[in-house]
């Protein structure tokens, strides 16, 4: 079964690489971005695109095996809600140089999916 990966900030400098890397590992990729970037995120390989101006990915009932948060606008508990049960316990954060603004980026359990 494919790993389900969500990239929050999929249309940005970090996120566009992340979408393509996750796809190259065989994951099922969901990208989160604004309305005008949706087509671009699809074009680089995202299987699903969520428009953050219309839908909250932490409230729609979907869960992911890996979340890359390429922006810092959500709380840890928001991300926990969207992580699959087996991944919740291993949640960890890498902080950028400005910890006052909270967690910025999360990369974990990157592995090749066959």
Ligand X SMILES: NC(=O)c1ccc[n+]([C@@H]2O[C@H](COP(=O)([O-])OP(=O)(O)OC[C@H]3O[C@@H](n4cnc5c(N)ncnc54)[C@H](OP(=O)(O)O)[C@@H]3O)[C@@H](O)[C@H]2O)c1
Which residues make up the interface to ligand X (CB under 6 A)?
8-15, 32-34, 37, 52, 70-73, 96, 104-105
Helix (H) or strand (E) holding 78: helix 76-81
Is the Cβ of residue 9 or residue 82 nearer to ligand X in the bound state?
9
Cβ-based neighbours of 75, under 8 Å, separated by 6 or more: 102
Q: Apex CA 92: angle with CA 10 and CA 110, to 5°?
A: 55
Is the Cβ of residue 27 or residue 67 nearer to ligand X in the bound state?
67
d(CA 106, CA 5): 12
Is the Cβ of residue 59 or residue 113 nearer to ligand X in the bound state?
59
Kindly state the smallest distance separating residue 23's Cβ from ligand X, in Å.
16
Kindly state the smallest distance separating residue 38's Cβ from ligand X, in Å.
8
User: Which residue has the CB atom at the shortest distance from ligand X?
Assistant: 12
Tokens 């970037």 -> residue: 37
Is the Cβ of residue 14 or residue 25 nearer to ligand X in the bound state?
14
């Amino acid at each position: 079964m494919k790993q389900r990966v969500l990239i929050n900030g999929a249309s940005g400098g970090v996120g566009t690489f992340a979408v393509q890397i996750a796809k190259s590992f065989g994951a099922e990729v969901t990208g989160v971005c604004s309305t005008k970037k949706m087509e671009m995120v699809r074009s680089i390989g995202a299987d699903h695109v969520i428009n953050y101006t219309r839908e909250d990915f932490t409230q729609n009932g979907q869960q992911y095996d890996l979340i890359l948060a390429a922006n810092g606008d959500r709380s840890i508990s928001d991300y926990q809600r969207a992580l699959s049960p087996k991944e919740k316990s291993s949640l960890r954060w890498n902080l950028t140089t400005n910890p006052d603004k909270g967690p910025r980026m999360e990369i974990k359990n990157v592995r090749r999916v066959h």
